[in-house]
Copies of this chain bind each other. A is one copy, B any other.
Amino acid sequence: MYGHMLANARTMPPSFPQFWARGEGACAWDVDDNRYVDFLCAFGPMLLGHRNPLVDEAAARQAALGDTLSGPSPRMVELAELLTSTIPHADWAMFAKNGTDATSTAVRIARVATGRTKLLKAAVAYHGANDWFTPRSAGVTPQDRANIVEFAYNDVASLEAAAAAHDGDVAAIIVAPFRHDSFVAQEPVDPAFARAVRALATRIGAVLILDEVRSGFRLDVRGAWEGLGVRPDMTAFSKALANGYAISALVGADALRESASEVYVTGSFWYSAVPMAAAIATVRHAVEVDAPALIREPGERFKAGLEAQGERHGLPVSLTGPVQMPLLVFADDPERTTAFAFTDAAVRRGVLLHPWHNMFLSTAHTVEVVDEVLALTDEAFAETATALRAAS
């Protein structure tokens, strides 16, 4: 079972396309040549729109030289320097392929640095698909989960209790910059919670890992908690880092440099130069245009527009979480009947929305694109309201 599910009756509305032919900017076309404004952005990677010319040209220039060679290219050093100069808490960087590679390597580094074993994470929170983290237990042994301790996101008391229960053995706390569990309303981090996590980690000598695999370069190019004045010890990135090219990164503070060098990690394509060239172009451009700020206005318009339409059609809906990556939650919709009916109607009109996972906007989702979309979602709301009335 893939996390980014193929459409089937249980998991996705029937109209959701199964196979994709091509993408360009904010749009993608399915194999039947239906065009969609794509609010999934490949579940995050497309930060600058599909087939962004700046990124693809940088990738093509590197591809003409070589991609996977018998060691790294200079692009690895350039990308590391770009990340450490962009992200204030980052003194070093290492690269892999999956977000899971970055989060699980961070935990291993924390164990080396502290000589301890336990990992504190928020209940339900997704931090990867390895055996410690995977949200489904099929094929996972109890031993794989033995060192995971859960707390409740934004709940300082539960965090303190989890740490106290394993006093002296907490290697790391891993946390997302905001609560982005599937199926439920996203929740911003309480700044007091962020500061408490930092203070607790420092006090007990544990390592604070920020998981920005999903949020990286969409909320703040310096790191999602930089605006709160809270700096983690390590941050994991992937998805948007290279605008769709396969790469993940782990950055960290100097104090962890030696521990990072002791951990054995490897992958056949971890030195590949093309995704690194793409990441350099992506991060440079994201910093230059301030991608998170650029996406905010269309994101706010999208949120306000959909919420007003929902109200008007008697289907109140909230776009929860950051406007750059909102999650739809309809009122009184425990079975997600309304969410499925509405997103199905939207998809049939060429607007790719998701009924239970957060969505993503890119810099190609301009105000004009959002306005085009809102005309279509208004029809989708009307159809949904009529259909649900008829069914009830």
A-side residues, CB < 8 A to B, are 1-4, 6-7, 17-24, 28, 31, 38, 40-46, 50-51, 56, 63, 65-74, 76-77, 94, 96-101, 104, 107-112, 117, 129-131, 134-136, 138-141, 143-144, 146-147, 213, 238-239, 244-246, 248, 259, 261-273, 275, 352
Contact A41-B63, Cβ < 8 Å, known A108-B131, A244-B272, A267-B98:
no
Q: How far is the CA of A296 from the CA of B264 in the complex (A)?
A: 33
Name the CB-closest residue of B to A107.
B139
Q: How far is the CA of A140 from the CA of B108 in the complex (A)?
A: 6
A70 contacts B140, C-beta separation under 8 Å: no
**Could you list 18 further interchain pairs (A-B, Cβ under 8 angstroms) beyond the known A99-B267, A112-B139, A246-B268?**
A1-B264, A1-B265, A4-B70, A20-B66, A21-B66, A21-B73, A21-B74, A42-B68, A46-B68, A50-B66, A56-B63, A100-B267, A108-B131, A110-B139, A136-B262, A244-B269, A245-B269, A248-B268
B18 contacts A43, C-beta separation under 8 Å: no
Q: Which of B147, B246, B264 is in CB contact (< 8 Å) with A136?
A: B264
Q: How far is the CA of A107 from the CA of B146 in the complex (A)?
A: 18
Task: Tell me how far the C-beta of A218 lies from the nearest C-beta in chain B, rounded to whole angstroms.
Answer: 14
B28 contacts A51, C-beta separation under 8 Å: no
Name the CB-closest residue of B to A6.
B71
B1 contacts A40, C-beta separation under 8 Å: no
Contacts of A74 in B (CB 8 A): 19, 21, 31
B138 contacts A264, C-beta separation under 8 Å: yes
Q: Which of B65, B129, B272 is in CB contact (< 8 Å) with A267?
A: B129
Name the CB-closest residue of B to A118.
B141
B23 contacts A66, C-beta separation under 8 Å: yes
Name the CB-closest residue of B to A112.
B139
Contact A69-B23, Cβ < 8 Å, known A45-B268, A99-B268:
yes
Q: How far is the CA of A134 from the CA of B268 in the complex (A)?
A: 14
A74, A104, A111, A246 pick with most chain B CB within 10 angstroms: A246
Q: How far is the CA of A88 from the CA of B89 in the complex (A)?
A: 52
A20, A21, A108 pick with most chain B CB within 10 angstroms: A20
A129 contacts B72, C-beta separation under 8 Å: no
29 pairs of residues in contact across A and B, judged by CB atoms under 8 Å:
A1-B264, A2-B94, A2-B266, A22-B69, A23-B65, A23-B69, A24-B66, A38-B69, A40-B70, A42-B68, A42-B70, A43-B70, A43-B268, A44-B268, A50-B66, A50-B69, A56-B63, A68-B244, A68-B246, A97-B269, A108-B131, A108-B138, A108-B139, A129-B267, A136-B264, A138-B262, A138-B264, A141-B146, A246-B268
Q: How far is the CA of A238 from the CA of B22 in the complex (A)?
A: 25
Contacts of A6 in B (CB 8 A): 71-72
Task: Tell me how far the C-beta of A65 lies from the nearest C-beta in chain B, rounded to whole angstroms.
Answer: 4
Q: Which of B50, B67, B138, B263 is in CB contact (< 8 Å) with A263?
A: B138
Name the CB-closest residue of B to A110.
B139
Contacts of A42 in B (CB 8 A): 68-70, 268, 271
B262 contacts A1, C-beta separation under 8 Å: yes
A65, A68, A140, A262 pick with most chain B CB within 10 angstroms: A68
Contacts of A144 in B (CB 8 A): 143-144
Contacts of A109 in B (CB 8 A): 139
